[in-house]
Amino acid sequence: MLNPEDLFAAFDPSTGTIDGRPTITRHLSDLRGLFLDSTAFETAVGDKDPVVYTVASIDFARGEGQLHCGLGVINPGRVGSEYYFTKGHLHSWKEAAEFYIGLRGRGLMILEDEKSGESAVVDLLPNSTVYVPGHTAHRTVNTGDTPLVYIGVYPSQAGHDYSSIENRNFRKVVVEKKGAPAVMDRTDFSHQYQS
């Protein structure tokens, strides 16, 4: 059925909402265990447990060949020197690729091949796209001082697999160094925070 009311969706990049569609909100406490500095993390969670990001999604069409999309907004912020980021995931249907489209702000995507562990860190900027191949874990990082706003378009059957990321995390971290974002190997950093 070509029902214009289903096919059209108005979104607001300022609020991160899509008219009539659900939005999920991730607070800092939802990211426990993923940041390098656990002491800075608990301090930052504090009483207020700030919102790190929201994702509104359009998922009315399901099945082979169908597409979903998400409108993500990551607030600016850091835990210690590490910039705010998304949980990160593989797709449950491993072959599923995804296009990210930058709308506002500036950030990076950390990509990691699930088999070889090869990493790439790619700019996510307005008027640009990032292609996430299948079998590639992806995390989005806001390296700016304004909200990072983007859209992701992915097969309806992609799904989210968060568990492998929660267990081993990404090999690359993005930290503020002398006022600018720097990409480092996690192994070069983590010893500083081990007690």
Binding footprint of Zn ion on the chain (CB under 5 A): 98
Residue least distant from ligand S6P (Cβ): 70
> Whose Cβ is closer to ligand S6P: residue 55's or residue 175's?
55
User: Minimum Å distance from CB 72 to ligand S6P?
Assistant: 4
Minimum CB separation from ligand S6P for residue 189, in Å? Answer: 21
Nearer of residues 98 and 112 to Zn ion, judged by Cβ: 98
Q: Which of 66, 62, 27 is nearest to 45 (CA)?
A: 27
C-alpha torsion sign, points 78, 80, 82, 88: negative
Measured from the CB atom, the residue of 25 and 192 that comes closer to ligand S6P is 25
How crowded is residue 22: how many other Cβ atoms within 10 Å of its Cβ? 11
Q: CA torsion sign, 135 to 141 to 143 to 146?
A: positive
Taking the complex as a whole, the smallest distance from the CB of residue 149 to ligand S6P amounts, in Å, to 11
Whole-number Å distance between alpha carbons of 23 and 7: 18
State the nearest-atom distance from the C-beta of 85 to ligand S6P, in Å: 9
Q: Which residues bind ligand S6P (CB under 6 A)?
A: 55, 70, 72, 86-89, 98, 140, 152, 154, 158, 160
Pair of tokens at residue 183: 């990409």
| Closer by beta carbon to ligand S6P, 49 or else 177 | 49
Choose the contact partner of 125 out of Zn ion, ligand S6P, none; CB within 5 to 8 A by kind: none
Which residue, among 35, 28, 83, has the nearest Cα to 190 in the 3D structure? 35
Residue 88 contact among Zn ion, ligand S6P, none, beta carbon within 5 to 8 Å by kind: ligand S6P
- Reference 30, options 76, 85, 87, 109; nearest CA is 87
Query: Tokens 């900027």 appear where?
Result: 125
Closer CB to Zn ion, residue 44 or residue 111?
A: 111
Please choose which of Zn ion, ligand S6P, none residue 87 contacts, taking the beta carbon within 5 to 8 angstroms, the exact cut-off set by kind: ligand S6P
**By C-alpha distance, which of 193, 69, 76 is closest to 142?**
76
Minimum separation from the CB atom of position 129 to Zn ion (A)? 14
| C-alpha triplet 162, 167, 168: angle, nearest 5° | 105
